[in-house]
Chains A and B, each alone.
Chain A
Amino acid sequence: MYDFEYQRAISVDDALKKYADSEDARFLAGGMTLVPVLKQRLDQPSNVVDLGDLADMRGISQEGNAIIIKAMTTHHAVNSSELVISKIPALAHLAGTIGDHMVRNRGTIGGSLANSDPAASYPSAVLALNATIITNNREIAADDFFTGMFDTALEEGELILSVSFPIPEEAGYKHFPNPASRYPIVGSFVAKTSNGVRVAITGAGPCAFRVDDFEDALTKKYNPEAIRDIKVSDEGLATDIHASAEYRAHLINVMTRRAIGE
């Protein structure tokens, strides 16, 4: 790992200022991606601004018909939250499938979303639940947030503060884990709301995306059989040692049907 100047933020404003005053800084949340990336010398920031002390960036609450999860909330906290388990059990379930229990004790929802790893689990939930990402200076709709592989609508120095998840009527998440890494080769999150059904896929493409044909069919009839014969195009999907684009396209249908069944 190349060395860098480590700085510990004492408030959100302090974190933003330290970032802005640095030549090329990174925010450090749980570090479950950033630290391995630094160890592999894939990145060489001048400064690392640690958000670990910002207690007001952690926590889960309900506001009206939405669950608010602050950015520094760990996967373990989401997985074990009575509030999330009772209001959006699929989201609690998803958080419990990320990494392993040691990783879930450190990794955060804000860090995961800002990183937008193509195989990250959370983006599928954010997109399917039509969540809103609240940053230090604006609110970003989930549909506008994920812009590409490791790419988001976040601007330089912009910090995710929390994510607001509207509570759905029902929802499900199912993923097909890579047998070795356990990352989703394909993960599907399905959310049924009064405005219709949303389906979002992770692991298959450069970033999370919705499947319009599934949504239309499921909005008419919320049943796995409604999409059984709908073929998903493999155009633009990832091909790697673990799965071809064609196989991923197939898994999108299977995982979505199983997500509804759960």
Chain B
Amino acid sequence: MPSITMTVNDKQVSGDVEGRTLLVQFIRDHLGLTGTHVGCDTSQCGACTVHVNGRAVKSCSLLATHVDGADVQTIEGLADGDVLHPMQEAFRQHHALQCGFCTPGMVMSAIGIVNDNPDPTEREIREALEGNICRCTGYHNIVEAISAAAKEMR
């Protein structure tokens, strides 16, 4: 059984996993970080989005062994104590969620989008959200939140 070590939200963690253990299973089941969600489980919906070495990825489509040694950030690692990350705060201010299931993945994806494109147009945001599915909001407030957060993050 492979033994893996990685940095998750600035803490070094390790565990024994099967070859087939997915990163999202390691994060949720081994580490108890259940903010990262499994929506479709087929790499369509983006609810499982985390950052690996600073890049947004879908953790339901990565083997845990695949990212052995990597630096992983999940939704739990964003806030600084009680101070939300600008993207989280923007989602709150703009009511960019209803049921909230897609939200952790939306936020992690959105940060990746803004990191690559610090001043995105509305159209660019909408196109970049291709890999995240929300069945409640109609995306409108999500797009507004990302646009507002981008200004804060610049």
Contacts and interface: CB of A to CB of B under 8 A. Distances in A.
B46 interface: yes
B20 A102 contact: no
Given A102-B56, A105-B56, A182-B130, A35 B19 contact: no
Given A32-B43, A35-B61, A100-B46, A1 B66 contact: no
A195 to B, nearest CB: 35
A8 B65 contact: yes
B63 A31 contact: yes
Interface stretch (B27-35, B93-101, B109-117, B136-144): B109-117
Given A31-B61, A35-B61, A101-B116, A5 B19 contact: yes
A28 B55 contact: no
A106 interface: yes
A191 B113 CA distance: 31
Interface in B70-129: 109, 112-113, 116, 128
A38 B68 contact: no
Interface size classification for chain A = 20 to 34
Contacts of B42: 36, 39
A101 B113 contact: yes
Chain A interface main SS type: mixed
A59 interface: no
B37 interface: no
A78 interface: no
B62 A102 contact: no
A150 interface: no
Q: Which 7 pairs of residues, A with B, have the shortest CB-CB distance?
A: A100-B131, A6-B19, A105-B55, A1-B20, A100-B130, A6-B65, A102-B58
Interface of B: 2, 18-20, 22, 41-43, 46, 49, 55-58, 61-63, 65-66, 68, 109, 112-113, 116, 128, 130-132
Given A36-B43, A39-B22, 8 more contacts: A4-B20, A5-B19, A52-B66, A100-B46, A100-B130, A100-B132, A101-B116, A106-B57
